[in-house]
Structure 1
Amino acid sequence: MPVSYEYERPALTVDCVLFGLDEEGLKVLLIRRGMEPYQGKWALPGGFVRVGEALRNAAERELEEEAGVKNVFLEQLYTFGDPGRDPREHVVSVAYYALVNLEDHDVVADTDASDAGWFALDDLPGLAFDHEEILEVAKERLKGKIRYQPIGFELLPELFSLSRLQKLYEAVLERPLDKRNFRKKLLKLGILEETDEVEKDVARRAARLYRFDREAYDRMVKEGFELQL
C-alpha cells in the first residue's frame, strides 16, 4: 500500500571523491558540469539517487555515466546536509571516496558532464556546490587512514620502487618524510616483496622494484595497525 507523508522530504544525491596517483603526485577526478546549476564549473562526479536504488549502486552508476569509470571499490565518507548547499532545493548528499590506479582508469565525460579529468590537489579549480568541503573531508580521512591501514595497493602499479611508495605517503600527508626511517618502518610491516626487477628507462641509477604481498596486505587492512611517521 502506498504511504503518504505529512512533511516534505529533501532530495538525495551521492558524490564521489576518487584519488589517483601518478609521477606528479596525488590527484582527484573532476567533471565539468554540462547543465545548470553551475554549468561549466568543475565538480565531483555524482548525481541524484533513483527511487529503489541502493546508495553504493547510485555512486557506481554516476561514476560510469559521468566519467566512464567503473569497477572501483568505494567507501562511504560522510553525509552533507546543509539546506543551502544546492540552489535548486534542499539536497542531502552521501559522499563516497576511493583510491584508484590512474593507469587502470581512462576517463571520458558523458551524460550531464561536458569534460572530465584528473587534477593535482595543489592546483584545483573552483568547485561547484560544497564540493571543496567534501574534498577536504576526504583528504583528512585519507590522512587518518594511512596511520591505521596500509595504502598503496589501489594507487600503485603492480611493481613499484620504495621511492614511489614514499612519494605517495608524502603526498597524502602533505609533508616530507625521512627516507631511512620510512623504509625501515614499511619493510618491517612484512607487506612488501622485493623482486629481481629494477626500474627501466630512468636517467638515474635504477632502483629495485617491489610488490605488495596481497595476502599479508589484506590481512593487515582487516586487522589494522598503528603507523607513526
Structure 2
Amino acid sequence: MSFSEEAINIATALGNGIYSVGEDIVLGAERTGEGWGLGKDGRSAEIGYENSAMKNILIDFARTSISDERNPLYKCIYNILEEYYSKFPEEILQQLASKAGVGAGYMAGRMLIGQKLAKTIALKICTVIATTTAYKQMAKKLGVSAAASATGVGIPIGLLMLQGVMQRSSHAALRLRKKCPELFSKLHVAGNLQLLYFLVEKPMHEYISTIEFANTNQARLAKIISDTYSKKSNDNDK
C-alpha cells in the first residue's frame, strides 16, 4: 500500500471516529453519570483530568496544521511509528531509510534512524491526510470544539455528545494501557496523547499489533522482519 492510500484510509477512519451520533449520546449519558460519582471509585477525578487534558489538546490542534510537529495528532502518529520502528533490526531500518529518502548515515545508530524514519513517514502520512475531505470535516469539528472549550460557549455537538466522544477516548486509552502499557506511557508523557488513541486505533492497528507482539516476542519478530525484507530484496533483484 502506498503512503497516499494508507493516509486516505487513516483519514477516513479518523473522520468516522470523531463523530458517531447514537453511540456518543449513550456514552455521554454514561460519562455524565460517572462524573456525578455514579461509577467506580475515583472515576469522577479521572474524568476531570481527562476533560482538562483534552481541552488543551484540542486548543493545540486548532492552532497548528497537521504537518506541524507540535500538532497533537501528528505527535501521536509519530510516537506510534517511532515505537514501531524501534522493534526493527538495524540493517532493515537502513534499507527502509534508504527507500524513504531519509538522510541517516550508516553509523547513525538504530534509534536515530528509527526516529528519522518515523518523522519522515509521519509527515508523509499527515500531508496526505490534510488534503482529504474526511480530515477537513474532522478538523472543523475539533476546531470548533477547541474554540468552545476555550470560551466555554457554543459547544457545537451538544454536551452529551461531547461527553460521548470523551468516553470513547477514555475507553480506548484503557484498552491501550492493557494492550501496550509501554506505548500508553510513551503517549501519556508526550502530552496525554493516549486520549487520541481512539482516532488511530483502527487505522494504525497493524503498527500497534506489531508493537504488542514485540513486547513478548522481540527475537521472533526480528527474524520475521529480516526474513520478509530479505525475500523482498531477493525478489527485486530478479
TM-score by length of 2: 0.25
More strand by share: 1
More helix by share: 2
Higher relative contact order (Cα pairs below 8 Å, separated by 6+ residues) = 2
